Structure 1
């Protein structure tokens, strides 16, 4: 009889502690989501590049130099949805022949 009561109390305690962990996990996930949204908004606001030639020489280069034209196109493609999209675009720009690392 003593063991049944002790086992019942132990199981009750374990089930209760698991529920608390789930609530903590959900609260932590919400904090992370808010933080990621704030980071995304900051990056989105700062992601401003001039993707059009600004003078005749640059315009001539863009019309004859394929890599330069592709680089300008990549600069103009602003990621839309996630931080990961910004990271992928940033890596693509780094790998481009036009950007020195």
Structure 2
């Protein structure tokens, strides 16, 4: 029973350090081009890592998810907005799951 509270405390402490240490240790503007580039892309990579597996697992047929992913990438590549891309991908999954 007491180990559960220790685990919760350790998770809290690690999460707290991850958020507080950069604020306390880095007070000046980051001028290193590599680090700035890395920090710029971190949110996009995190979103991609969470989204891509969900696209494949959320559908009944993985092939429908893959087709939707490819269509969404093509639409986005050619400048399609978020809403039309989401609608096209949703319709693709719906139609392909009806067919397959």
Do both proteins adopt the same fold according to a TM-score greater than 0.5, normalized to the shorter chain? no
**Shorter-chain TM-score tier:** under 0.3
TM-score by length of 2: 0.26
Select the structure of larger CA radius of gyration. Answer: 1
Higher-helix-fraction structure: 2
